[in-house]
Amino acid sequence: MKGIVPGLGLASGLGYKESLAIRGQSMKRVVASAIAGLLLVSAAMAERSELGELHVTEVVGGLEHPWALAFLPNGQGSLITERPGRLRLLDAQGRLGAALAGVPAVFAKGQGGLLDVALSPGFATDRLVYLSYAEADAHGELAGTAVGHGRLSDDGMALENFRVIFRQQPKLSSGIHFGSRLAFDREGYLFVSLGENNQRSTAQDLNKLQGKLVRLQADGSVPEDNPFTGRADARAEIWSYGHRNPQGLALNPWSGRLWLHEHGPRGGDEINIPDKGRNYGWPLATHGVNYSFLPIPEAAGERVAGTEPPHHVWEKSPAISGMAFYDAERFPAWQHNLFIGALASQALIRLQLEGDRVVHEERLLEDRDWRIRDVRLGPDGYLYLLTDAADGKLLRLGLAGDR
């Protein structure tokens, strides 16, 4: 399997931080994978958590580095992206379809490929599906994040009339730090999180779209009240800046505010609640250091004047990806919790909230050997997890004694 051999680095789609966590553990992984494989034969696996017994069910396997999940309305199934460039329909009976036609070509190198998927707020009438992906330059050597949408055909087998509505400029990535997550707010604005392509200084450059959170109309046009609209020295799409590699974006269902999380370097993964026009620090302010253990050259400390401190920070990076707030009725014990996937530490992180404050953390599924790439709340009140592997899985998670 890709991504579990000691010594594999960025070429396998892993960050250096993730590779370090993997080295020296090949035998542990082989044994754990064999055990997990046997357990998955049964209908569900169980383990204890602070809030009760967890039940984990494999919904479907055989996914190649799945990246994101979106549920279709009215029990029509779900859409799953695979990083090599496939969009798959999982129907309501749990049958995984062939790759949909009409998906754009992607730059499937390193961490690049087909990334996030989101449904239009008006999907019930327009059937529009939004995709983010790594798009190559004219020479096929460098890439940037792009976003587009197409209409899901009535038979669910194709995206029709796919149109690109946004391109990260300039294209600077050789295969890492693309971001990228998609989220619509309550007013229908589309937010796109963008990595800095491992070009640190660009996160502070308002003339570039690296290391930014951008805010768009659903058609890709720029809202007139964006913070930098009308400035010659800044891109009008930008909502906030100073981000490193944000791979989590979700709307808080209680406050209506957008939450974003991003990878730090060696240390300093963080959650932010991005405000209009604010600077979130990277690389000037960080809790992390370079993978060589040397300081980040541009960094002036953990807090720097003119930048916003993180809302929540991990001094040791779990390598966070995907997140979901829990506001369903099925499991009352999970109400006002935030669930985040972890790639390097191979866990599901449960954060208990009081208002916006994080008051407690629990690590779940730590012995499963799963790199959790995405976390979504299903319409049935269960949590759904995607595991990042050559033989990736969609898992369903719940508590015993559900309603």
List the one residue out of 328, 395, 379 whose CA is nearest residue 75.
379
The CA radius of gyration of the chain, in Å to the nearest whole number, is: 20
Report the distance separating Cα 86 and Cα 261, nearest Å: 25
**What's the number of CA atoms in the CB half-sphere (13 Å) around residue 215?**
22
Please tell me which residue in 55, 65, 149, 177 is annotated as part of the active site. Answer: 177
Report the distance separating Cα 112 and Cα 15, nearest Å: 12
**Across the beta sheet with 347-354, what order do the strands follow?**
320-326, 337-342, 347-354, 357-364
Listed in sequence order, the residues at least 6 apart from 205 whose beta carbon sits closer than 8 Å to its beta carbon are none
**Residue 227, both tokens:** 């913070």
Using CB atoms within 10 Å of the CB of residue 104, give its burial: 0 to 12 exposed, 13 to 18 middle, 19+ buried. Answer: middle
H/E element, 19: helix 16-22
Cβ-based neighbour number of residue 116 at 10 Å: 26
Residue 136 β-bridge partners: 143
DSSP calls for 85-108: TEEEEE-TTS-EEEEPBTPPP---
Listed in sequence order, the residues at least 6 apart from 127 whose beta carbon sits closer than 8 Å to its beta carbon are 120, 151, 152
DSSP calls for 309-339: PPSEEESS---EEEEEEE--SS-GGGTTEEE
Three-class secondary structure of residue 285 per DSSP: strand
Does residue 365 contact residue 41 with C-beta atoms inside 8 Å? no
Report the distance separating Cα 279 and Cα 282, nearest Å: 8
Query: Is 65 tagged catalytic?
Result: no
**Residue 305, both tokens:** 């004047």
**Looking up tokens 């995206």, which residue turns up?**
159
Listed in sequence order, the residues at least 6 apart from 27 whose beta carbon sits closer than 8 Å to its beta carbon are none
Q: Which residues are catalytic?
A: 177
